[in-house]
Amino acid sequence: MAKQKKQNVDSEVEIKIENPEEEQKKLDKSLDLIPLCREKSDTPYHEEVENERKNIFKVYKKARTENNVIMVITVLVFVASMILMVTPETKSWGTIAGGVAIGVVIVFLIVHYILTRNLFPNTTKNYIRYFMEHTDNYIFDIENVHDQKLYFEKRYVVSDVLQDRCYKDVIDTASRNIVSGTYKEKPFECGELALYKAGAKRYQKAVIFVGKYLTAANNLHFPERYIIQIKAVNETDKPNDIEDLVILHEQNNFVVYGKEGANFEKDLGKELLDNLKSIECTGALLNVNIVLWAGRTAAYLSYDDSIVAIPFDKAIVPESYAQLKKNISEVLEILVD
């Protein structure tokens, strides 16, 4: 009887299998997916972005001016009201008038705050979204790159980068503008990333990397990992998770870290090494760290403020974004096999 009852219960259980395409649509929607490189404008992207930047900067200046005027008027009303309330000649009616004036000002400030508290944050968020979409349409419009998608809400977390073992002591991350796509039908992902370690003082954080972070699969086969650093004249964002590694090769600005005794030339191959040596850290590009594991590649490209800071009070630098596009194209060509 017990067995029969179990069979009856089991027969009523319905196993629901989700359609993978529907699951992907839910994921895309939850991460605010923006398809890229679908339509091309006749107007250069940097001109469109510059017009939008000027518009939002006007809004910001207007809001700042209004707030300054309101602050001055508020101070004057408070001072005048207090004078009326403490002056003997006007104290009889001044107390009432001053109290009413102060009350009116307080009500006005509350109403003004309620009406404007989300105005500029929302305007700023819309501008950032506009900026990312238009610059990404330009940057990732690369030959052999397809299915480009911007995930506006997606973020990297500490565990995403610790697995690379390029940087250690990471306590926090900041990220945005994460784009996925395929290069020669092989998937990759690229986003803006900043890594932080504990600072010298309590509650203080220090930046150890800021720039573009690109990940992809590879067909390499070897134990452990290699880290390749390509430096500019002034070294910056050096990898620090290298206590178990030694310098296997160093030539000019090109450094190969790996396990002592590892045969990096055999494991990586002459073609890959020669192609990596062709990358130049000039202009906005300050440093490149590439971590190579069997099956996984992670590239950390450090950039200056012309790339890592979204232009607000200063115009976009088209030359830096042209270099960024060239760098990403080169890295994809070299690393995605």
237 near 302, Cβ under 8 Å? yes
Please identify which residue in the block is written with the tokens 């990333």: 193
Whether residue 24 lies inside any domain: the answer is no
Is residue 187 located within the same domain as residue 303? yes
Q: pLDDT by residue for the chain (337 residues), tens digit each?
A: 344 433 443 434 343 445 555 655 555 566 788 999 877 778 889 999 999 998 887 877 777 776 777 777 777 777 776 776 667 666 566 666 666 666 776 776 676 566 666 555 678 888 999 999 999 999 999 999 999 999 999 999 999 999 999 999 999 999 999 999 999 999 999 999 999 999 878 888 999 999 999 999 999 999 999 999 999 988 899 999 999 999 999 998 999 999 999 999 999 999 999 999 999 999 999 999 999 999 999 999 999 999 999 998 889 999 999 999 999 999 999 999 7
Count helices and strands (H / E) in the chain.
Answer: 10, 10
Amino acid occupying residue 281 = C
Amino acid occupying residue 320 = S
The three-class DSSP label of residue 217 is strand
Whether residue 3 lies inside any domain: the answer is no
Kindly report the number of other CB atoms within 10 A of residue 197's CB atom. 16
Range of the domain at 71: 45-117
Is residue 225 located within the same domain as residue 291? yes
Whether residue 106 lies inside any domain: the answer is yes
Q: pTM for the complete prediction?
A: 0.78
Is residue 254 located within the same domain as residue 184? yes
Please identify which residue in the block is written with the tokens 């800021």: 210
